[in-house]
A and B are shown apart, each in its own frame.
Chain A
């Protein structure tokens, strides 16, 4: 079964760092881009950017450039989203999703990781 499994919910304080993960299985992880999507509480979907695990090439949305960092470890089929200094406004659900070239869309989604930032 093709799936993406994300790490568990996090509760952090402003200024702390954080790295969440997205592990792929059931397909060749290095052959498809992995995207990250933010959903703030009660709001819509925001495209943050994508990473190609094969060579770690990245594309960031201008809205998120410099605010987050994407990385990947292809040896363990895992993509990461990290923050160096969290803000309260980073409180949201974060989804990873596989970009499937044939459809040019996100066809497989992780279950989401809830990040809560509060003092």
Chain B
């Protein structure tokens, strides 16, 4: 299986901040990388697919980049509703593994 490792596991930030979350794959996955947001008690929501494509309806303050093994999710100008847990997922080969998650908390 491909291992997906996110860093940090948690971080604190303030409204208006810019934050970056990193995801590293244990082998090259080209650009087959997705990002999801999950709020407490809710199902995950797709934010970014194919490493950098914004899912329809997702605010433009979210962006993704990277290819190969290293990827980033950036959130510009954090809003109160952005405080949640974020997961990366590789869609290169089966099983389509997720990272362990990054919890974004309010400072």
Contact = CB atoms under 8 A, between A and B. Distances in A.
Interface of A: 35, 37, 44-47, 49-50, 59-63, 95, 97, 103-107, 109-112
Interface string B1-42: 100000000000000000000000000000010101010000
B43 A62 contact: no
B44 A95 contact: yes
B53 A106 contact: no
A8 to B, nearest CB: 15
B96 to A, nearest CB: 5
Contact of B43 (A49, A61, A105, A112): A112
A64 to B, nearest CB: 9
A109 B44 CA distance: 7
Nearest to A111: B43
B33 to A, nearest CB: 9
Q: SS class of chain B's interface: helix, strand, loop or mixed?
A: loop
Interface of B: 1, 32, 34, 36, 38, 43-46, 49-50, 53, 55, 87, 89, 91, 94-101
Taking chain A's interface residues, is the majority helix, strand, or loop, or is none over half, making it mixed? strand
Contacts of A59: 94-95
A47 B96 contact: yes
The listed residue with most B CB atoms (<10 A of its CB), out of A45, A49, A61, A111, is A45
Contact of A103 (B1, B46, B96): B46
Given A110-B43, A111-B43, A63 B91 contact: no
